[in-house]
Structure 1
């Protein structure tokens, strides 16, 4: 780390095309190689049905707790570069919530709330997505979603409304 103050951030990872396990493990390594950033914890991999567009392969999801001195926008730029390197297509022609080789999202950046073009933290749908909350809580059990409350309570509320279809692998 440099003289810049480091803070905690959680990145959610997902993949449902190609060798999903290898892609997620390569993404873990790429995140740990980012400047001014270290991976502190990685979750297990979780299988879950696709969200948004249901007619596609199941996703593998994970979360990584980072210690980073990168400002949120710089971290996002690095995540987008990792996605591109993996073959992700974010062009206008790509289907929103469609199949993807790799998806990296900033779920949390400490206790910050950010609402800028192209960057919303906490992730705006985090509180309603078990596939993101389950691995998040594995890497940061006491996580709080700014403006929403404890992540554990958000997951419990989802379980009360509908079955949670997230399966840990290994």
Structure 2
């Protein structure tokens, strides 16, 4: 199964955190399939005031792990890197590493703690931009447009919102 995973960090030694996460994800990969975007530095979105900028990238791996087992592996890695358990952390607070399943093949998964494709993927430039580098023509399950088109649409809408209305 080809799986997209978003990688992000805005706490601690960010470059080192990204390298360690990529090495971990490469270890989960079965066979040779490992796509990785460049690393983007991005402003925090929906985070507490004063949050540091993030480093983000997207990888695609191939795995036979179930979505549930993969989620558990990712969460275990986050905890091993110093991320607080869900019950103790501030929503969208700083984090040494964040690993999100963006897509899991062509599956749509709706469970209380696992929504795939990621529910905000089409609203997040820090996900769509890196993903467009490695899979621009990908159409996510439940979507009608390619990643490249979703990114273009998001940029177009944001440019419209950022403009000052003429008087």
TM-score surpassing 0.5? yes
TM-score range (shorter-chain normalised) is: 0.7 to 0.9
Listed as ranges, the gaps of 5+ residues in structure 1 are 1-6, 164-170
Higher relative strand content: 1
How many Å apart are 1:87 and its aligned residue?
0.6
Residues 35 and 61 from structure 1, CA distance in 2 versus in 1: closer, same or farther, beyond 3 angstroms? closer
2:145 is equivalent to residue 153 of structure 1 = no
Higher relative helix content: 2
Q: What are the superposed Cα offsets for residues 76-129 of structure 1, whole Å, 9 maximum, x if unpaired?
A: 111001101111113323111111110000001111100012111000000100
How many Å apart are 1:43 and its aligned residue?
1.1
2:20 is equivalent to residue 22 of structure 1 = no
- Tell me, in whole angstroms, the C-alpha distance in 2 between the residues paired with 1:107 and 1:66: 11
2:27 is equivalent to residue 33 of structure 1 = yes
Residues 28 and 82 from structure 1, CA distance in 2 versus in 1: closer, same or farther, beyond 3 angstroms? same
For normalisation by structure 2, the TM-score amounts to 0.88
Aligned residue pairs total: 157
Written as runs of structure 1 = structure 2, the 5 A alignment for 1:115-126 is 115-126=110-121
Instruction: Give RMSD over aligned pairs.
Output: 1.5
Q: Runs of 4 or more off by more than 2 Å in structure 1?
A: 34-39, 90-93
